[in-house]
Amino acid sequence: MTHPHDTGYKQLYSFPEMVEDLVTGFIHEDWVAQLDFSTLEKLNGSYVTDDFRSRSDDVIWRVKFQDQWLYLYLLLEFQSTVDPFMPVRILSYVSLLYQDIQKSNQLPDNKKLPPVLPIVLYNGQRPWNAATSISELLQPMPESLQLFQPQQRFWLIDEGRYSLAELEQLENLTAAVMRAELAEDEAQFARVVANLNVWLQRPAQNHLRRIIKEWLISLLKNHLPNTQVNELRDLTEIETMLARSWSEKWLEQGRTEGIEKGIEKGIEKGIKQGEVIGEAHILKKLLTKRFGVLPDWAVDHLKQASQPQLEAWTERLFDSPTLVDFFEA
């Protein structure tokens, strides 16, 4: 049965920006620096074996590596259980790819098969705890017999093994997609969309923005079923809707805590100053929910602000893509 996000993910990874960020952000090997991502070329991912068994589309790209092609085979896994025989599947898929390369006369002049990097992007709820190579699945055997056994390994990217804090350190489209999958409330979703709004501003990225918008709406319908998203036309509208939604939830709680904190301070410094402290406490809480832990300079700005300044800042809470823009506008 196809996972509802399967098609959306395949659309996302039909864009070279997504593939480049996937490789550079999550495969930490020296040879990655030698890949020429300007040569990324998407291939047809449908293969048919000689006995007419068909293989449904996966996402396959190739990229220049040391004057030759490296094939990137992206397998997007959304099953609820881990597949213990994934290396066997990968072995068959790579074999079909090699068959297609040979039959379509895509071999280089030396007639050698090109390297293939199979990547399994897994977002199941359970951590991946199964084999990532064929050798782990084979029974014990004499060393001389091992020479005749297939060798196949895949690169596993298990979304659930990354924390939101780790992913937020990466200015990376694939990391943003993972953060959206892991988001637990409107605030975390809003921060993801705010980042995407900043990173996808070039006109050439308009199509990718649209695909990401559609994918986010599908995701929001599953994660936040009570959120009204059908009429949203752009990432900016999604960000504003989410920001307003979570701010309304936190505003009442923050105002109560702020008033209590303000009154407590107000006993010593006067009720008026206590109200300012309470307003600053509310705004600090909202900014933290949107942008993450505030740096010292931002906290100092809030402490030194007057009540009119705090009120003006609160008005533009939804309009600033970054914390710096928020204070400088």
Nearest Cα neighbor of 323 from 305, 307, 301, 304 is: 301
pLDDT in tens, 33-43: 999 999 999 98
Residue 220, H or E segment:
helix 206-223
Q: How far is CA 267 from the centre of its chain?
A: 48
Count of CA atoms in the C-beta half-sphere (13 A) of 184: 3
- pLDDT surpassing 50 at residue 1: no
Q: With pLDDT > 90 as the criterion, what percentage of the chain qualifies? A: 33
Residues 61, 40 contacting (CB under 8 angstroms): yes
**Could you report the per-residue pLDDT of 267-303, keeping only the tens digit for each?**
444 445 555 666 777 778 778 877 778 888 888 888 8
Element (DSSP H or E) covering residue 193: helix 186-199
3-state secondary structure 101-115: HHHCCCCCCCCCCCC
Give the count of alpha carbons within 13 A of 222, CB side only.
Answer: 12
Q: What does the pLDDT average to over 26-34?
A: 95
Tokens 């952000």, residue?
25
Which pTM was predicted? Answer: 0.73
The predicted model gives 233-253 an average pLDDT of 70
At 5-26, the pLDDT tens digits run: 556 788 899 999 999 999 999 9
Residues 6+ apart with CB under 8 A from 170: 25
Residue 122's H or E segment, with its range, is: strand 116-122
User: What is the average pLDDT across 184-192?
Assistant: 81
Tens digit of each residue's pLDDT (9 = 90 or more) over 169-185: 898 999 999 998 888 87
Residue % of the chain over a pLDDT of 70 = 78
Round to whole Å and give the CA distance between 25 and 172: 7
State the DSSP H helix or E strand holding residue 68, giving kind and residue range, or none if neither.
strand 68-77
pLDDT of res. 31: 95
The reported pLDDT for the residue numbered 51 is: 46
Tell me the helix, strand and coil percentages in the chain, rounded to 5: 55, 15, 30
